[in-house]
Amino acid sequence: MPRKPIKKKPRYSKVIVALLLASVAVFTIAMTVIFCIKDAVPDTLIGAFFTFMAGEAGVLGLIKHAEKKYKPKDSEDFEEIGDE
């Protein structure tokens, strides 16, 4: 009797990046709608939002870089940081 293949969980960082991109898209659309209705946008909110998103993406990039640079070469069962 053949075994069912084990489904891999999506990587934590991949899920976060997808959520970041989706939230940026939704925020951009919302700000466009607000601009069309009110003829003004909250500049401070926009700056803070994109700064936060850039920071999150930068931290994920640093984590990924550290995983690749400092991963033990002799360990086959090394679980990457953030993957569960």
DSSP letter at 79 equals: P
Indicate whether 4 pLDDT > 80: no
49: in domain: yes
Give the residue among 49, 57, 56 at the shortest CA–CA distance from 31: 49
Cβ 14 vs Cβ 82: under 8 Å: no
Query: What is the total count of domains within the chain?
Result: 1
Average pLDDT, integer, range 16-20: 92
| Stated pTM of the model | 0.68
pLDDT digits (tens, 9 = 90+) for 28-84: 999 999 999 999 999 999 999 999 999 999 999 998 888 888 876 655 555 555 554
Give residue 55's domain range. Answer: 12-69
How far is 28 from 26, CA to CA, in rounded Å? Answer: 5
In a domain, 5, yes or no: no
Q: Is residue 44 part of a domain?
A: yes
Query: Which position has the token pair 């003004």?
Result: 40
CA gap 63, 13 in Å, rounded:
9
* 7 domain residue, yes or no: no
63 within a domain of the structure (yes/no) = yes
pLDDT computed for residue 67 by the predictor:
84
Answer yes or no: is 84 within a domain: no
Of 7-11, 20-24, 78-82, which gets the smallest average pLDDT? 78-82
Which residues neighbour 20 within 8 Å (Cβ) at sequence distance 6 or greater?
53, 56, 57
